[in-house]
Amino acid sequence: MITLCLSKRLIERGDLRDFVAHSDVAEGTYVELTVTDTGCGMDEATRSRVFEPFFSTKFAGRGLGMAAVLGIVRGHKGAIRLTSEPGKGTTVTALLPAAGPEVGLASAPTPTVPVARPANAAVLVVDDNARVLQAVSQLVEALGYPVMTATSGREALSVFGERHAQIGCVLLDLTMPDMDGVETMQALRAVDPKARIVLSSGYSEQSVRRRVSGDGPTGFLQKPFVEDDLKAAIEEALRASGDANE
């Protein structure tokens, strides 16, 4: 059985003693989300590694879930705690800063005016999650770039092999089945050593780059990201390839 609880708490520094937290976490009002299960629980060795990227106790697991959760919580300047004992289940508590009373409804965003781009500035967006692929593709189009899409590393290789002369950069998700982002990046570079690739992940840039041997990605985009982050990552990749502003 899984139980979810949501509450509002005033957090002081001493309350964060057992939490894994962003360095900028401050005292104040937080929304506390608690998820408790009645499963088999974890021993101390497992608990100590649960937020470690690519660690999993499951044969078919990729070990990315809790590491991604930690990245998201830190990205929002929050904190997270996991408590568990064998035979007694697990409780995960996340603290996220609460919005102040002055926060109102967001005004409608000003539509972005598409800007003409060079013919070889298309962006190949690669993600195995259909909703994420659609959302990111729409953002890229709103920024004025032609878009190509792929739902897997193998499909990305096929598209890139046929049309890489038109592709300014590849926006590549790290976590994909069959071929992950690092494997796909290496395969794309085998087709074109100058391929400009922006890796996207919920993990920190440091943890991702530790996985990469040889030439790393041209850029890195940490999830969750906003339109300005995406724009900056694409423009930086195009500048690196010499295609931007031509």
What confidence tens digit (pLDDT) does each residue in 221-245 have? 888 777 888 999 999 998 875 544 4
pLDDT for 22 equals: 65
3-state secondary structure labels for all residues of the chain: CEEEEEEEEEECHHHHCCCEECCCCCCEEEEEEEEEECCCCCCHHHHCCCCCCCCCCCCCCCCCHHHHHHHHHHHCCCEEEEEECCCCCEEEEEEEECCCCCCCCCCCCCCCCCCCCCCCCEEEEECCCHHHHHHHHHHHHHCCCCEEEECCHHHHHHHHHHHHHHEEEEEEECCCCCCCHHHHHHHHHHHCCCCCEEEEECCCHHHHHCCCCCCCCCEEEECCCCHHHHHHHHHHHHHHHCCCCC
This prediction's pTM: 0.56
- The more confidently predicted of residues 14 and 159 is 159
pLDDT per residue over 82-139, tens digit each?
A: 999 999 999 999 999 988 766 555 555 555 554 445 555 899 999 998 888 998 999 8
Residue that wins the pLDDT comparison between 30 and 108:
30
Q: For residues 228 and 213, which has the higher predicted lDDT (pLDDT)?
A: 228
**Residue 172 reports pLDDT greater than 90:** yes
**Confidence at residue 3, expressed as pLDDT on a 0 to 100 scale:** 93
pLDDT band at 202 (very low <50, low <70, confident <90, very high): confident
Residue 64 is predicted with a pLDDT of: 60
What average pLDDT score do residues 165-175 get?
92
What whole-number percentage of the chain has pLDDT above 90?
Answer: 37
Lowest model confidence (mean pLDDT) among 27-31, 185-189, 205-209: 205-209
Q: Which two tokens stand for residue 69?
A: 């959760």
Q: What is the mean pLDDT of the chain?
A: 83
